[in-house]
Amino acid sequence: MKESLQHFTDIEAVFKHIFDWCVNAGGNLIGALLIFVIGRFIIKLIKRLVFSFMEKRKADPSIIGFVRSLLNITLNILLAIAIVNRLGIETTSFAALLASAGVAIGMAFSGNLQNFAGGIIILVLRPFKVGDFIESQTISGTVKEIQIFHTILTTPDNKTVYIPNGSLSSGTITNYNQNATRRVEWTFSVEYGEDVNKVEEIVKTTVANDKRILTSPEPFFAVNALDSSSVNVIIRVWVNNSDYWPVRFDMNRNIYEAFNNAGISFPFPQITVHTKN
């Protein structure tokens, strides 16, 4: 009889222990869920306040994008630590684990650390900003956003490209929007026997009729080369940056029409064959 009572008491203690554990685990889980919900709300509130303040101060869009990325990662890491701690998992254990695996983690994140440093360099030296059209790593596009690890470009055919900041900051960058003006250059070919002075006059008249072309520096005209079947003339003019492509395309059409109206022929490859009887 005593053995039965003792056995019953042991079972009751086990169930009581399980019940207490479930109550504690449930409380921790509910607490962690509340921390997650409230934390996400606070993160959104902080981000809204920070970005609203930066926009009122008219901060550079490049800095806004970088801060958005950095703030989002930092706040979510802090939220994750708070949730793990509320679940009863000792954060000191994680710290010890990370310390013991420091070498491996350092190797794994070395690239991202380099990209983070590259992002800082880009913001400090400012080789480009959001909205600039750049070329780097054989990729051309408009800078959409500068994040802490990557810079996002939108290509002319509307593709989104992520370039690591590390390679971007240490590589060659061509910024097409850095200067207010750009030079446009064309090379046209005319047949041998055409009056070069007449060609020059037509070109200069056509250039002068386009008001988008700047008068300073002056347009440049020269005979560039005497090719095997043509005389190549070169034209160089300066335009505002925003007019580069429209002027480049329009001038091709205008020169073509002007040469045709003046009777100036464009050459085509010719081969003279001599036959021996």
- Per-residue pLDDT reduced to its tens digit, 48-80: 887 777 777 776 676 777 777 777 777 887 777
Q: What is this structure's pTM? A: 0.61
Confidence of residue 43 (pLDDT cuts 50, 70, 90): confident
pLDDT tops 90 at residue 158: yes
| pLDDT exceeds 80 at position 216 | yes
Give the separation between CA 172 and CA 174, rounded to whole angstroms.
7
pLDDT(111) > 70: no
- Number of Cβ within 10 Å of residue 41's Cβ equals 10
Query: Above pLDDT 70, what percent of the chain?
Result: 74
Do the beta carbons of residue 182 and residue 176 sit within 8 Å? yes
Q: Which is more confident, 10 or 202?
A: 202
pLDDT tens per residue across span 136-155 = 988 999 999 888 888 999 99
Domain 120-175 matching CATH 2.30.30.60: the answer reads: yes
Pairing of strands 181-190, 174-175: unpaired
What pLDDT was estimated at residue 110?
58
> For residue 207, how far is the Cα from the chain centroid?
36
pLDDT at 109 over 60: no
Least confident of 104-108, 190-194, 241-245: 104-108
CB distance 230 to 187 below 8 Å: no
The verdict on domain 2-100 having CATH code 1.10.287.1260 is yes
- Domain 181-262 is in which class? alpha beta
Backbone angles phi, psi at 186, to 5 degrees: -130, 150
The answer to whether 185 touches 177, Cβ cutoff 8 Å, is no
Identical fold for domains 2-100 and 181-262, yes or no, is no
Q: How would residue 103 be classed by pLDDT, with cut points 50, 70 and 90?
A: very low
Residue 208 has pLDDT above 90, yes or no: yes
Residue ranges covered by each domain of the chain = 2-100, 120-175, 181-262
